[in-house]
């Protein structure tokens, strides 16, 4: 199968190619509203993949949680303008706002970071 994105007949190392494209890392820390189970939260948050993947500049998304009920969403973007404009636009996206209803608004902390170092072994 030909991979048109990289103009090669071999599948590229996805970790390497993804992180080479990413110039900005968006980190969002948050908690879930009371009344939702961890399983319900994970299902809702995973469904956000279908929304975020459509935004220009999106590269990759990782979501994780800890035993204290805190969540982290790490989104890799190709550039800061894409990250910031997507964050603004998502507030008006009906699908996204429905998903975000499980998040405790006052717990949200969002940061954008410019990448300066990558290391793979």
The tokens of 90 are what?
Answer: 């998502």
Burial of 103 (0-12, 13-18, 19+ CB in 10 A): buried
Angstrom distance (rounded) from CA 109 to CA 94: 21
**18 confidence band (pLDDT: 50, 70, 90):** low
Q: What is the pLDDT of residues 29-65, one digit of tens each?
A: 999 999 999 999 999 999 999 999 999 999 999 999 9
**Across 104-118, average pLDDT:** 95
Q: What is the pLDDT of residues 68-101, one digit of tens each?
A: 999 999 999 999 999 999 999 999 999 999 999 9
Reported pTM: 0.81
**First-residue to last-residue Cα distance in the chain:** 27
CA 85 to chain CA centroid, nearest Å: 14
Angstrom distance (rounded) from CA 66 to CA 24: 24
pLDDT at 119: 84
């Amino acid at each position: 199968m030909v991979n048109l994105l990289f103009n090669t007949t071999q599948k590229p190392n996805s970790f390497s190619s993804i992180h080479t494209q990413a110039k900005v890392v968006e980190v969002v820390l948050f908690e879930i509203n009371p009344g939702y189970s961890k399983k319900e939260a994970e299902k809702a948050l995973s469904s956000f993949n279908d929304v975020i993947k459509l935004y220009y500049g999106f590269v990759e998304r990782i979501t994780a949680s800890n035993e204290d009920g805190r969540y982290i969403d790490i989104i890799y973007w190709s550039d800061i303008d894409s990250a910031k404009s997507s964050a603004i636009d998502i507030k008006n996206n009906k699908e996204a706002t429905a998903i975000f209803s499980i998040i405790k608004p006052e717990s949200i902390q969002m940061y954008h970071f410019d990448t300066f170092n990558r290391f793979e072994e």
